[in-house]
Structure 1
């Protein structure tokens, strides 16, 4: 068993990071569902950009979050989870824009 390297007075980010990661996973369900249904209906060739955004934005958010500096146990994990949460909020905004565009431009 490996002892935790954090000092006893440092803040532990692990519970907050797990909660943020669960929230971001819940926010990503709708964009993933929408793009997967449309890819099955129209094919991947027509929906290449939304599919690349759907895959690339969370990866980019996790990469940017890995460079955030949080001192304490689980600080890097919290940064990654925070980056993924921001990416999932952006994905939900893009989904709202795509939905609005599909309604207004028949």
Structure 2
């Protein structure tokens, strides 16, 4: 019986990827909540671009993250979650810009 060479170094990315996925979910709550409230108030037609950004940015992050190469168990999952994590940070930055614009212009 031979040992798996990927497990020889003992590095598994699964716990780190799980933590990053949890942080991504936490960071996406506020942008999703804001867009859902706005869509229910004004309708989807007027807010098509924010909804498209909300849906497309995490998908784009996951696609880019899938091409990251981490050697070891859970490496691809870590790449995908890192892409989604960066996308969630960008969504929070967009939400902050949206909030700042709403405050300074008075809606």
* TM-score bin, normalised by smaller chain: over 0.9
Secondary structure in 2 aligned to 1:7? helix
Name the structure 1 match of 2:74. Answer: 74
User: Is 1:61 equivalent to 2:61 in the alignment?
Assistant: yes
For the residues of structure 2 that align with 1:96 and 1:23, how far apart are their CA atoms? 18
Unaligned runs of 5+ in 2: none
Unaligned runs of 5+ in 1: none
**What is the total number of aligned residue pairs between the two structures?**
103
For the residues of structure 1 that align with 2:5 and 2:23, how far apart are their CA atoms? 28
Name the structure 2 match of 1:32. Answer: 32
CA-based RMSD: 1.2
Name the structure 2 match of 1:97. Answer: 97
Secondary structure in 2 aligned to 1:6? helix
Runs of 4+ residues deviating >3 angstroms: none
For the residues of structure 2 that align with 1:95 and 1:55, how far apart are their CA atoms? 14
TM-score scaled by length of structure 2: 0.92
For the residues of structure 2 that align with 1:27 and 1:67, how far apart are their CA atoms? 23
Shift of 1:8: 2.4
TM-score scaled by length of structure 1: 0.93
Name the structure 1 match of 2:23. Answer: 23
For the residues of structure 2 that align with 1:31 and 1:6, how far apart are their CA atoms? 38
